[in-house]
Amino acid sequence: MGTNFERYRVKAGTKVDLGKEPTRGDDAYGGDKDAGYARLDALRDEIAELQDRLYAEEKHKVLIVLQAMDTAGKDSTIRDVFKETNPQGVRVASFGRPTDEELAHDYLWRVHKYTPAAGHIRVFNRSHYEDVLVVRVNELVPEDRWKRRYGHIRDFERLLVDEGTTIRKFFLHISKDEQRERLQERLDIKEKHWKFESGDLRVRERWDDYMAAYADAIKETSTVDAPWYIIPSDRRWYRKLAVAEIVLETLKDLDPKYPDPPDNLHHIAIPD
């Protein structure tokens, strides 16, 4: 069984209509949540094995970008996809509201220093895309300015790719109904209270504007080398599984190898 998660990739130059993109997904693994989680377990081990090689080889740089509306599951995707990996080689950078110092610079300034080094996987929890999403919806800069950013972002990501970075970008796509349920959970469940922010309700009010901003951002910046994937995210297991499958395929394509030993180790004896 299984499914072809590559079909969630947005081909360069295609128009994006998020109202038509699935938020639930098909019935991978028979639509069976338990089978999905069992598969996820196996995927995690494989991801960890390849990550160990990637770290040892110190050749490839991998950048994973996660963007989504509130409650879609960015945090738990990071936790559950990379759970078995070595934190020395997998790091997360979360981008919140810019500081005064960050705002005093161009919008890529704060992002560039967190791009991955050779041998590393870096996960962006939000990213430079906020600068054409929240910034656009809230009119934090004039239109002519944010519009030019699509071009900068394509060029910036091209620079990273040309210098050896592999980029995969994920939009975790939930329905507005599913978000209502998840926000309600944050009010109802004590352990989730801390996640509730009243500001999220104001963002929800602008849902359609955000969908339009996401659609344009994805269309303008999904390239052959830095593609977007629109991941159906109303079901938690399906979303994690889809991201894990694509991350694993990406690592397999890189085919990282442990480096050759420096000397012929057979001839070395450890002194007593």
Q: How far apart are the first and last CA of the chain?
A: 54
Binding mask 201-240 for ligand AMP (x = CB under 6 A): ----------------------------------------
Only segment of 1-9, 23-31, 113-121, 124-132 that touches ligand AMP (CB under 6 A): 124-132
State the nearest-atom distance from the C-beta of 129 to ligand AMP, in Å.
9
Distance CA 110, CA 148 (A): 18
Distance CA 30, CA 19 (A): 25
What's at 8, amino acid-wise?
Y
- Interface residue with ligand AMP, options 96, 261, 262, 271 (CB under 6 A): 96
Contact 181, 70 (CB under 8 A): no
Q: Is 97 in the site for ligand AMP (CB under 6 A)?
A: yes
Please give the size of the binding site for ligand AMP, defined by CB under 6 A.
9
Q: Is 126 in the site for ligand AMP (CB under 6 A)?
A: yes
Nearest to 99 by CA among 91, 90, 107: 107
Distance CA 251, CA 244 (A): 11
Task: Using DSSP, state whether 45 is helix, strand or coil.
Answer: helix
Q: Is 98 in the site for ligand AMP (CB under 6 A)?
A: yes
Only segment of 85-93, 130-138, 185-193, 240-248 that touches ligand AMP (CB under 6 A): 130-138
Q: Is 130 in the site for ligand AMP (CB under 6 A)?
A: yes
Residue nearest to ligand AMP (CB): 130
The nearer residue to ligand AMP, 100 or 272, going by C-beta atoms, is 100
Nearest to 115 by CA among 51, 166, 184, 73: 166
Give the E-state strand segments of 35-158 in sequence order: 61-68, 90-94, 121-125
Q: Is 95 in the site for ligand AMP (CB under 6 A)?
A: yes
State the nearest-atom distance from the C-beta of 53 to ligand AMP, in Å.
31
Task: Using DSSP, state whether 51 is helix, strand or coil.
Answer: helix
Interface residues with ligand AMP (CB under 6 A) are 95-98, 126, 130-131, 134-135
